[in-house]
Structure 1
């Protein structure tokens, strides 16, 4: 997992359903992921963020502010 600093903290929403943790990045609410533990969910969310930030995927919907 990458290093998290105050500058690059990303908010996420998560919940537990039975044995799985499910969540999404606040900035990208259409893209959910899951993990067997909260730590695994956080790793998966960080992977998603890094992939989305690479600009290798087109047409990603996200929330923004003006």
Structure 2
């Protein structure tokens, strides 16, 4: 069984949590069933971090809660 993921076919999008500046550009790829690939847009052929979908969802929930508590 081949467990290699071909990230050459995914569509990257800038995270809405990036600040839009040149130094903070995180891109994520959606649509994969069990993982969320994340990379630095300034280094498109650099390392890709792969997070379990459940961990990514929990992280985004934490961000939303953190932002709302700062308002």
TM-score under structure 1 normalisation? 0.39
* Structure of greater Rg: 2
TM-score with structure 2 length normalisation? 0.36
Higher relative contact order (CA 8 A, sep 6+): 1
